[in-house]
Amino acid sequence: MDTTELIRSVPTDLFLGGEWVAAEGKATFPVHDPATGQVLTEVADATANDAARALDAAVAAGGEWAATAPRQRGELLRAVFDKITARADDFALLMTLEMGKALPESRSEVTYGAEFLRWFSEEAVRIAGRYTPAPGGTGRIMVTKQPVGPCLAITPWNFPLAMGTRKIGPALAAGCTMLVKPASETPLTLLLLAELFAEAGLPAGVLSVLPTSDAGGVTGPLLDDPRLRKLTFTGSTGVGRSLAEKAGRSLLRTSLELGGNAPFVVFEDADLDAAVEGALAAKLRNGGEACTAANRFHVANSVREEFVAKLTERMSTYRLGPGTDPDSTLGPLVNADQRDTVTTLVGDAVSAGAKLRLGGETPEGTGWFYPATVLDNVPAQARILREEVFGPVAAVTGFDSEEEAIAAANATEYGLAAYIFTRDLDRALRVSTALESGIVGVNRGVVSDVAAPFGGVKASGLGREGGSEGIEEYLETKYIALQ
């Protein structure tokens, strides 16, 4: 399917209560192509009243969906997995058009995102409890798991498919209903996904997708509605803190996957070629617009010069261009604001004394492009060591001891992902334990796996997604005392 045909084929209304409907007042907002800045299409702009109608539908559908056999829920998720796989090229092109990433990156996300539905289709039948005698002989203890109830998912723009399926999959597998508010930059992917759920026979009201340009105006009333029982959010720490405060008023079950400032630690005994390849994966996956992206490269001073030279050489081979161009390996950033953020952080680091080894200049022309950039000898006061850059910039600093490396890696409010490269197994285990991070990659630059729990500590959030742990976020534990 070519670009024009694909855009015309994607639904642009709200998916609400099992139907495609216009927003209240028929309001719409534009979706842009980051490579050109041009408008791709207009989508329905949900209001608070639209969201209330979606919650009405979710509540009405909740009892029957919770009572649906786990196998049946799982088979529906598996059917949607098959449908995504069959339309992998359409999803990849659509994500590239609305988010900007190079097509190979989008194809990888389709595979990754679809896999959450397959994984949780299998987890649906493994929801278990327990039955034991009370230790004091006073009766029996029965523990069961039940769906939390209606959920609100707020998803980010950087992984338009995977961040949706990572929430929708476990929620539906557990027997919950769900409202999804996709990022306003990238609503089309989840609207297409909703169409596939409808085709697969998902009962009306179990899932609604509500794109909006007024996130606070739509989600605020939902968080105050006592019928909503769960909030799951992926996005910035600042927004996460605000949502957690609002959710706290209703004591909502809350899971938050927030910002990251991942350290990438290279010890003197590391295989430097492997470390460089790992650095490319950890830094430039998704163009650097990933919460797990390596941000701070802490490299042993004895090998830092060699590492920086190798990294600079490899990053210089990345070709900047539209994600749809088969020769492009690095697409644009998602919007002008994001490019301005990256530009500001790089400029601050250079002003503070960092050495610019590669990139660092915004290209002229249309689109929101920023080149692969390497900064060496970044001083401690540079903002880029404290703030999430969310772009293709590697900031390198040196260290002389393991203790110094650990202290530098932990010197951040964030704690999502971390990476270490060493040939010493004892050191790998010792440092992994010492790092204040929910995820640690040892001698590898990609850590995401649908079968593993994903989440962070400190300001990187609460709860876990993926793995066998992921479905627990959507289940309540009930104890029944039997005489």
Residue 172 lies in a domain: yes
Question: Do residues 182 and 325 share a domain?
Answer: no
Structure confidence at residue 300 (pLDDT): 98
Residue % of the chain over a pLDDT of 70: 100
CA dihedral 108, 114, 119, 122 (to 10 degrees): -150
Question: Do residues 174 and 138 share a domain?
Answer: yes
Q: How long a stretch of residues is the chain?
A: 483
Once rounded to an integer, what is the mean pLDDT over residues 241-264? 96
Question: Do residues 240 and 296 share a domain?
Answer: no
Residue 421 lies in a domain: yes
Once rounded to an integer, what is the mean pLDDT over residues 361-385? 95
Once rounded to an integer, what is the mean pLDDT over residues 108-121? 98
In the structure encoding, which two tokens stand for residue 354, read together? 């960092």
Residue 82 lies in a domain: yes
Question: pLDDT-derived band of residue 159, with 50, 70 and 90 as boundaries?
Answer: very high
Residue 353 lies in a domain: yes
Structure confidence at residue 8 (pLDDT): 96
Residue 73 lies in a domain: yes
Residue 455 lies in a domain: no
Distance of CA 296 to the CA centre of its chain: 20
Instruction: Give the chain's end-to-end CA distance (angstroms, integer).
Output: 64
Task: Check pLDDT > 90 for residue 246.
Answer: yes
Task: Check pLDDT > 90 for residue 167.
Answer: yes
User: For residues 28 and 15, what is the distance between their CA atoms, to the nearest angstrom?
Assistant: 14
Task: Check pLDDT > 90 for residue 147.
Answer: yes
- Catalytic residue, from 257, 289, 436, 473: name it: 257
Q: Are 171 and 474 in contact (CB under 8 A)?
A: yes
DSSP 8-state secondary structure symbol assigned to residue 92: H
User: For residues 235 and 257, what is the distance between their CA atoms, to the nearest angstrom?
Assistant: 7
User: For residues 462 and 19, what is the distance between their CA atoms, to the nearest angstrom?
Assistant: 33
What is the per-residue pLDDT across 34-68, written as a single tens digit (0 to 9) for each? Answer: 999 999 999 999 999 999 999 999 999 999 999 99
Q: Are 73 and 123 in contact (CB under 8 A)?
A: no
Question: Do residues 234 and 373 share a domain?
Answer: no
Q: Are 109 and 159 in contact (CB under 8 A)?
A: yes
Q: 67: number of CA atoms within 13 Å, CB side? A: 5
Question: Do residues 333 and 431 share a domain?
Answer: yes
Question: Do residues 343 and 375 share a domain?
Answer: yes
Question: Do residues 429 and 466 share a domain?
Answer: no
CA distances from 249 to 223, 429, 471, 476, 477 (A): 8, 41, 24, 19, 22
User: For residues 43 and 45, what is the distance between their CA atoms, to the nearest angstrom?
Assistant: 6
Once rounded to an integer, what is the mean pLDDT over residues 248-261? 96
CATH number at residue 9: 3.40.605.10
Residue 454 lies in a domain: no
Once rounded to an integer, what is the mean pLDDT over residues 320-340? 96
Split into its structural domains, the chain has a count of 2
Question: Do residues 81 and 196 share a domain?
Answer: yes
Q: Are 321 and 327 in contact (CB under 8 A)?
A: yes
Question: Do residues 189 and 327 share a domain?
Answer: no
Residue 139 lies in a domain: yes
Alpha helix stretches (DSSP H) within 180-287: 188-199, 215-224, 237-249, 272-284
Q: Are 347 and 382 in contact (CB under 8 A)?
A: no
Residue appearing with tokens 């042993």? 300
Does residue 115 carry a catalytic annotation? Answer: no
pTM over 0.85: yes
- Listed residue (250, 230, 218) closest to 178, CA to CA: 230
**Cross-strand pairs, 297:** 264, 396
Question: pLDDT-derived band of residue 1, with 50, 70 and 90 as boundaries?
Answer: confident
Question: Do residues 27 and 126 share a domain?
Answer: yes
Question: Do residues 276 and 254 share a domain?
Answer: no
Question: SS3 for 272-296, per residue?
Answer: HHHHHHHHHHHHHHHHHCCCCCEEE
Domain of residue 182, residue span = 3-258+460-482
Once rounded to an integer, what is the mean pLDDT over residues 16-29? 97
How high is the mean pLDDT of the chain?
97
Question: pLDDT-derived band of residue 251, with 50, 70 and 90 as boundaries?
Answer: very high
CATH number at residue 369: 3.40.309.10
Structure confidence at residue 473 (pLDDT): 97
Question: Do residues 72 and 200 share a domain?
Answer: yes
